[in-house]
């Protein structure tokens, strides 16, 4: 706009011309500005974008032909759709895309030159995608009971929303936790599932922290809080063993004894354990009363037995345990030998049971088996005795001499078990000024009066003493003596040395003393005691009582119904004719019944028994060794059990022999006997 001009020439056609100037005026008119579209703006997801729409953004700057200053209307013609726009008059702007949005957006603005001229242009925006971290949410809704597994999934909505990813990526969980549980065992899987097993008996809180990944490098962590609710734990009852009783005796057990190895499942709660019931008895019956449990074995049972009990913690928790026990046959008591000293014509008192014992502490009773040959003995069942050393034999002895007298007793417990012991009485001879038929200190032969009751003392050498007729008393003294009682009921004591004693006729009392003696009862019902040494006792005719006592003795009953006892060592007993009773005693003995219906009792040790002719009875008991029966005849001989029942036996075939066992212990072997022949009918009822 402004002025302008031009000059022109005019002609008349005849050669005449002229020029003139034309002046022009162009009046100013406002030109609209030029707004240029912009497309070079880009930003990352979740990142603000700034710029200026008036500037050259790749397609040239906005301009005004009149050079007017341009301003931008702060209210866009059309606004962005995926974010927030701030547009300023100087053309500057800021754009914040919506969270996690990526893609294109745009807005249109108007530019003005201030003189009424305007123009519009569009600004294109690009929001470039950026991976968004996933969001892991803390979980606190998991709870389980004590000792109970808990399962769940950390990605799920567990009360605070599910774990998520803004990009919609698939989430996975690192199977190794960021921090593990402290009070249990955790298994964590990639799909978010997990299982948690609390430690035994634990209750309280626990937690673990996990990491979630979107697979594109985005991760987040969250903590899972776990609650283990307390549950009363059952007590733990421990099995008990080692208890024992005999078949005829109930066993009492304190409740506290059984509870000693039981524990409470919640030791922190200080609960008190009690036994509330008993039952399940095997081979017996059981009862609970107060603080005592009583087990009563089945009648005749020997072997294993058991019962169960229930323990309670008082809070609903219970457990049961088994008590194992052993029922054995009665164990025989032990009788200990005793020794007492007494002066001639004096009395001594004592009790033979004071040093005797019974493995089951049964009450004991005493029975006299054989009385002393001299003196007066009073004997009671409670073991009390008194002995008066008053006898013609003592009057014959030299002053200062010590004469040994013995008596044998049997101790029996409440279950029938028994043992024997010997009481030795050492009688010191006093000077009473009387000497009857005393030998010198040489090898003498002293003969009493025919028909009188003579008292003869042998002295210190090897003497021969003859009583002849009458009830004579012969005391050998020292040396190897020969004593012959003669007719009537005589008393013979060999004392020291290896003596030979012959009772002859009459019911004689004979005591070998020390040394290896030979005692012959001959005729009459004789009582014989070998004493110390290796003795030979022969009963002869009559119903005799023979006791080998100490030493490896040979005891022969002869004719009559005799009672033979081996004593304390390895003895041989031969019953002979008649219905005899043979007791081996201690040691490994040989018992031969001979003719007649004999009773064979081996006693302690490994004994051999041969019944011989007749219907013989063989007696066995547990705990006394293995007895061997050499000639058992089925249908004729009888087997007897001391303190045992037939039901307690185990009968087995071993080679050609039959064995009888109780609780794994062999008590007898029947040689060359077939097991199939042995039935309950073979045992004494």
The predicted pLDDT at position 557 comes to 87
Q: Quick check: 415 pLDDT over 80?
A: no
pLDDT tier, 448 (very low <50, low <70, confident <90, very high otherwise): low
The predicted pLDDT at position 677 comes to 94
More confidently predicted of 190 and 454: 190
Task: Tell me the CA distances in angstroms from 341 to 6, 234, 348, 512, one per residue in order.
Answer: 185, 67, 8, 19
Task: Tell me the CA distances in angstroms from 171 to 136, 175, 213, one per residue in order.
Answer: 10, 13, 6
Q: Quick check: 435 pLDDT over 50?
A: no
- Paired strand residues for 210: 222
Q: What is the mean pLDDT of the chain?
A: 88
Q: Quick check: 437 pLDDT over 70?
A: no
The predicted pLDDT at position 433 comes to 45
In this structure, the strands spanning 545-547 and 500-502 are unpaired
The predicted pLDDT at position 368 comes to 94
Q: Report how far residue 567's alpha carbon sits from residue 528's, in angstroms, rounded to the nearest whole number.
A: 12
CATH 3.30.300.30 is the classification of domain 572-685: no
Q: Quick check: 447 pLDDT over 70?
A: no
Task: Tell me the CA distances in angstroms from 538 to 44, 165, 500, 535, 575, one per residue in order.
Answer: 130, 116, 11, 10, 10
Summarised one tens digit per residue, pLDDT across range 271-286 is 889 999 999 999 999 9
DSSP 290: T
Q: Quick check: 635 pLDDT over 70?
A: yes
- 33-128 and 139-229: identical CATH topology: yes
Look up the CATH superfamily of 33-128.
Immunoglobulins (2.60.40.10)
Q: Quick check: 478 pLDDT over 80?
A: no
The predicted pLDDT at position 518 comes to 85
Summarised one tens digit per residue, pLDDT across range 611-627 is 999 999 999 988 888 99
Class of domain 139-229: mainly beta
Q: What is the 3-state secondary structure (H, E, C) of 388-448?
A: ECCCHHHHHCCCCCEEEEEEEEEEECCCCCEEEEEEEEEEECCCCCCCCCECCCCCCEEEC
The predicted pLDDT at position 287 comes to 96
CB atoms within 10 A of CB 569: 18
> What tokens were used for 449?
């009066």
- Percent residues over pLDDT 90 in the chain: 55
In this prediction, residues 655-667 reach a mean pLDDT of 90
Task: Tell me the CA distances in angstroms from 615 to 587, 595, 632, one per residue in order.
Answer: 26, 9, 10
In this prediction, residues 514-528 reach a mean pLDDT of 83
Summarised one tens digit per residue, pLDDT across range 228-270 is 998 888 899 999 998 988 887 899 999 999 999 998 877 666 7
Q: Quick check: 381 pLDDT over 50?
A: yes
Q: Quick check: 61 pLDDT over 80?
A: yes
For the ranges 43-57, 319-333, 437-451, 562-576, the maximum mean pLDDT occurs at: 43-57
The predicted pLDDT at position 434 comes to 44
pLDDT tier, 479 (very low <50, low <70, confident <90, very high otherwise): confident
Q: Report how far residue 388's alpha carbon sits from residue 409's, in angstroms, rounded to the nearest whole number.
A: 17
User: Do 187 and 194 contact (CB within 8 A), yes or no?
Assistant: yes
Residue with tokens 């100037």: 21
Instruction: Find the helix or strand (DSSP H, E) in which 83 lies.
Output: strand 83-87
Nearest to 575 by CA among 549, 537, 604, 606: 537
pLDDT tier, 297 (very low <50, low <70, confident <90, very high otherwise): very high
More confidently predicted of 313 and 491: 313
User: Do 617 and 685 contact (CB within 8 A), yes or no?
Assistant: no
In this prediction, residues 339-352 reach a mean pLDDT of 92
The predicted pLDDT at position 513 comes to 79
Q: Quick check: 475 pLDDT over 80?
A: no
CB atoms within 10 A of CB 631: 18
Name the burial class of residue 18, with classes exposed (0-12), middle (13-18) and buried (19+) by CB atoms within 10 angstroms of its CB.
exposed
The predicted pLDDT at position 522 comes to 84
Give strand ranges (E) for 611-662: 617-620, 627-629, 638-641, 649-654, 657-662
Summarised one tens digit per residue, pLDDT across range 485-518 is 777 777 787 777 787 888 778 787 887 778 888 8
The predicted pLDDT at position 395 comes to 63
Summarised one tens digit per residue, pLDDT across range 557-596 is 888 898 998 888 888 999 889 899 999 888 898 999 999 9
In this prediction, residues 170-189 reach a mean pLDDT of 96
The predicted pLDDT at position 432 comes to 54
pTM of the model: 0.45
Residue ranges of domains in the chain: 33-128, 139-229, 240-328, 338-428, 572-685
Q: Report how far residue 307's alpha carbon sits from residue 324's, in angstroms, rounded to the nearest whole number.
A: 7
Q: Report how far residue 549's alpha carbon sits from residue 565's, in angstroms, rounded to the nearest whole number.
A: 8
Task: Tell me the CA distances in angstroms from 574 to 509, 563, 568, 583, one per residue in order.
Answer: 20, 10, 17, 11
The predicted pLDDT at position 354 comes to 92
CATH of domain 240-328: 2.60.40.10
Summarised one tens digit per residue, pLDDT across range 386-405 is 999 987 667 656 677 788 88
Instruction: Find the helix or strand (DSSP H, E) in which 256 lies.
Output: helix 255-259
Nearest to 265 by CA among 186, 328, 318: 318
Summarised one tens digit per residue, pLDDT across range 543-559 is 888 888 888 888 888 88
- Paired strand residues for 307: 323
CATH of domain 338-428: 2.60.40.10
pLDDT tier, 521 (very low <50, low <70, confident <90, very high otherwise): confident
In this prediction, residues 282-307 reach a mean pLDDT of 93
């Amino acid at each position: 706009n402004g002025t302008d001009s031009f000059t022109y020439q005019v002609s008349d056609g005849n050669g005449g011309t002229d020029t003139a100037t034309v002046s022009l005026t162009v009046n100013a008119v406002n030109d609209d500005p030029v707004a240029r579209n912009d497309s070079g703006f880009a930003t990352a997801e979740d990142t603000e974008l700034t710029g200026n729409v008036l500037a050259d953004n790749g397609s040239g700057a906005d301009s005004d032909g009149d050079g007017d200053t341009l301003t931008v209307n702060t209210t866009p013609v059309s606004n962005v759709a995926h974010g927030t726009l701030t547009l300023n008059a100087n053309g500057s702007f800021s754009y914040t895309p919506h969270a996690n949005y990526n893609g294109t957006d745009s807005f249109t603005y108007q530019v003005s030159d201030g003189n009424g001229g305007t123009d519009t242009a569009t600004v294109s925006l690009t929001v470039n995608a950026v991976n968004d971290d996933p969001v892991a949410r803390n979980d606190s809704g998991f709870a389980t009971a004590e000792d109970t597994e808990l399962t769940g999934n950390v990605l799920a909505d567990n009360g605070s929303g599910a774990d998520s990813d803004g990009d919609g990526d698939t989430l996975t969980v690192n199977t190794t936790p960021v921090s593990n549980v402290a009070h249990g065992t955790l298994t964590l899987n990639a799909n978010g599932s997990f299982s948690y097993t609390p430690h035994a008996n634990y209750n309280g809180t626990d937690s673990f922290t996990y990491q979630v990944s979107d697979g594109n490098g985005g991760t987040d962590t969250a903590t899972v809080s776990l609650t283990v609710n307390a549950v009363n734990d059952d007590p733990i009852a421990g099995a008990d063993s080692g208890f024992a009783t005999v078949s005829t005796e109930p066993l009492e057990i304190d409740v506290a004894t059984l509870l000693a190895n039981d524990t409470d499942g919640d030791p922190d709660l200080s609960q008190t354990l009690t036994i509330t019931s008993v039952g399940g008895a095997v081979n017996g019956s059981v009862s609970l009363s107060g603080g005592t449990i009583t087990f009563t074995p089945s009648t005749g049972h020997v072997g294993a037995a058991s019962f169960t009990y229930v323990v309670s913690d008082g809070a609903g928790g219970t457990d049961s345990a088994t008590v194992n026990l052993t029922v054995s046959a009665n164990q025989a008591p032990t009788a200990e030998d005793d020794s007492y000293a007494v002066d001639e014509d004096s009395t001594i008192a004592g009790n033979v049971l004071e040093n005797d014992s019974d493995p089951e502490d049964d009450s004991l009773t005493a029975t006299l088996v054989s009385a002393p040959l001299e003196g007066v003995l009073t004997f009671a069942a409670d073991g009390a005795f008194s002995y008066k050393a008053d006898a013609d034999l003592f009057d014959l002895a030299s002053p200062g001499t010590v004469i040994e007298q013995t008596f044998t007793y049997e101790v029996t417990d409440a279950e029938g078990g028994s043992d024997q012991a010997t009481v030795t009485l050492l009688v010191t001879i006093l000077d009473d000024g009387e000497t009857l038929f005393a030998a010198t200190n040489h090898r003498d032969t002293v003969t009493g009066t025919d028909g009188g009751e003579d008292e003869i003392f042998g002295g210190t050498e090897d003497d021969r003493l003859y009583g002849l007729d009458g009830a004579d008393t012969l005391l050998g003294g020292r040396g190897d003596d020969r004593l012959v009682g003669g007719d009537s009921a005589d008393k013979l004591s060999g004392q020291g040395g290896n003596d030979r004693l012959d009772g002859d006729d009459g019911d004689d009392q004979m005591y070998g003393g020390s040394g290896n003696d030979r005692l012959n009862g001959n005729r009459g019902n004789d009582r014989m005691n070998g004493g110390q040494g290796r003795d030979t006792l022969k009963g002869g005719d009559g119903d005799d009582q023979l006791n080998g006592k100490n030493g490896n003795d040979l005891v022969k009953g002869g004719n009559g119904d005799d009672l033979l006892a081996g004593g304390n060592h390895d003895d041989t007993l031969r019953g002979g004719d008649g219905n005899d009773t043979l007791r081996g005693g201690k040691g490994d003995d040989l018992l031969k019944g001979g003719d007649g219906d004999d009773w064979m009792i081996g006693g302690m040790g490994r004994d051999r028994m041969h019944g011989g002719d007749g219907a013989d009875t063989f007696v066995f008991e547990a705990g006394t060794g293995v007895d061997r029966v050499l000639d058992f005849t089925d249908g004729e001989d009888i087997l007897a059990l001391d303190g045992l029942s037939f039901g307690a036996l185990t009968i087995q075939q071993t080679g050609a022999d039959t064995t009888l066992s109780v609780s794994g212990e062999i008590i007898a072997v029947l040689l060359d006997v077939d097991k199939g022949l042995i039935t309950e009918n073979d045992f004494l009822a």
